Structure 1
Amino acid sequence: MPIKEKWRVCQIFKQKLVDKNYKGGEAMDLATLIFLAYLALVIYAIVRISSVEFKNSCDRVFWFLVVYFMPIIGLILWFVFGGKYIKKEGGES
């Protein structure tokens, strides 16, 4: 692609990002925000699973696989039921 065409494509792309009347801009911003929120929840769940001490060593693997392979269902299950399987600090083993 010649430099002149690359410059034109770059200018068009830049104008679409700046132009508020561009039809796809607002929906893309909302979709990006939703994706980032979802990604933050997935990362939080995975970090939380890896840092928590479970009663059974297989529970950690189970919860990690659920959150990794079924992200939406796994997140819901982890936040609703995951806390019940966590070993309490200072409690009985």
Structure 2
Amino acid sequence: MGIEVGGLLGLIWLIIVIWAIVKVAKSSAGGLAKLLWILVLLFFPLLGLIIWFLLGPKG
């Protein structure tokens, strides 16, 4: 049962990170800011997502 739960949580996590990247790409921020946010989300998924939720675009 542990593998199934881990796989499901990993899939949910992947969907959340992809959603955040899409939100960044659609935001009105400048090109460099978008690139930096996407790189942070890709290279530091947990920390990047937390920082993006706290400091990222609102609304």
Name the TM-score, length of structure 2 as normaliser. Answer: 0.86
Q: Percent identity?
A: 34
Unaligned runs of 5+ in 2: none
Whose relative contact order is higher, 1 or 2, with alpha carbons under 8 Å and at least 6 apart?
A: 2
Q: Give the 4+ runs in structure 1 shifted more than 2 A.
A: none
Unaligned runs of 5+ in 1: 1-25, 89-93
C-alpha separation between the residues in 1 aligned to 2:17 and 2:31?
A: 21
Aligned positions, number:
59
Name the TM-score, length of structure 1 as normaliser. Answer: 0.58
CA drift of 1:53 comes to 0.8
CA RMSD of aligned residues (A): 1.6
Q: Which has the larger radius of gyration?
A: 1
Alignment partner, residue 18 of structure 1: none
Q: Which has the higher helix share?
A: 2
